[in-house]
Structure 1
């Protein structure tokens, strides 16, 4: 019994260490050559910056400042930051199924109904850094944590801050 509890604890501890972001990068890019950045004109893919867009931009700017990178006008920047919140639909089972049963020995009867299912819209944050001279993406990060419609403004800001900080903890690549 103790062995099973110990194994369960180890599995849970390892699951807690799993990364909440996935990154990819160009192996030919020389990241030491990049010192300035700007937001891409199409960042966020909307004519207006949304509330979450403002939160994302503030978090990205803070993290790039921590990397000693300087914000510059679009035409002078080494990198353009493109970001988007990719909307995804997920089916969510809510509630608990009802059931009853009776029986004796190895024989029994039961009746149950499946819990209700509803569609939930979630948003996954994706950030890309584009080399302005080659117009190629040189670094990309995608969140494994999602924004949901039901989150409060404060919890949305906290989640965005955490995710963006974790994304840029892996920039430039090769330092982790």
Structure 2
């Protein structure tokens, strides 16, 4: 019984820590035509949140990760007036509460009717960050693609761990850019 309860709790905990990216796009757009990009004028993490982890260092990490990811797809960074598309990004941080309840014992009394269960509930606050990347057609100035991913923010990370985390998140978000044809 305890083994099943432990395995179920571990699976729920692992599934709660993972988040899949979310995408949306204009199906009428020919994404193969996009070969160059520039930063949208309002591309800035710091304007969208006041979380201490959102700073100039994180801004640089996000820009580097997006640039590297798009360059592996043959899309190069150019001046805004020469770009096929503009890339915008922003972040939000939301505080969430997690509660776990564990039944610690069962009891039955013979001289009274009934039975009892003792439970223990633990709550924790944590921050969830969401990174959103937008692709805007530079000619029409219309949003043509959006990707987002949320995840629990970690504290006390080294700069290398923060680099790896941002690179992984951006790669997962841009995994579906350009969108894959649905058959």
Could you tell me the TM-score, scaled by structure 1's length?
Answer: 0.74
Using a 3 Å threshold, how does the CA distance of structure 1 residues 127 and 151 change in structure 2: closer, same or farther?
Answer: farther
Q: CA deviation at 1:136?
A: 0.8
Aligned residue for 2:92? 86
Offset of residue 161 of structure 1 = 1.0
1:102-158, Cα deviation, whole Å (9 max, x unpaired): 43579433444532x3432221111001111111111110114x1515251433322
Q: Which moved more, 1:164-173 or 1:152-161?
A: 152-161
1:52 equivalent in structure 2:
58
Give 1:5's aligned residue. Answer: none
Q: Which residue of 1 aligns with 2:51?
A: none
Q: CA deviation at 1:66?
A: 0.3
Give the secondary-structure state (helix, strand or coil) at the position aligned to 1:43.
coil
Gaps of 5+ in 1: 1-7
Q: SS at 1:150's partner residue? A: coil
The alpha-carbon distance between structure 1 residues 147 and 38, as it changes in their structure 2 partners (threshold 3 A), is farther
Q: CA deviation at 1:72?
A: 0.5
Root-mean-square deviation (Å) = 3.2
SS at match of 1:114: strand
Moved more, 33-42 or 44-53: 44-53
Instruction: Give the whole-Å Cα distance in 2 for the aligned partners of 1:129 and 1:62.
Output: 16
Q: Is 1:150 aligned to residue 155 of structure 2? A: yes
Give the secondary-structure state (helix, strand or coil) at the position aligned to 1:130: strand
Distance (Å, rounded) in 1 between the aligned partners of 2:144 and 2:117:
57
Give, in angstroms, the shift of residue 101 of structure 1: 5.4
| Corresponding residue of 2:24 | 24
Deviation by residue 1:15-46 (Cα, 9 ceiling, x = unmatched):
7xx97211111112111221110111211253
| Structure 2 portions without partners, runs of 5+ | 1-7, 48-53
Q: Does 1:139 align with 2:159?
A: no
C-alpha distance in structure 2 between counterparts of 1:88 and 1:147, whole Å: 10
State the number of aligned residues. Answer: 160
Instruction: Work out whether 1:109 is the aligned partner of 2:129.
Output: no
Q: Which moved further from structure 2: 57-66 or 30-39?
A: 30-39
> Does structure 2 retain, via aligned residues, the 8 Å contact 1:125–1:143?
yes
Contact 1:122 1:149 in 2 (8 A): no
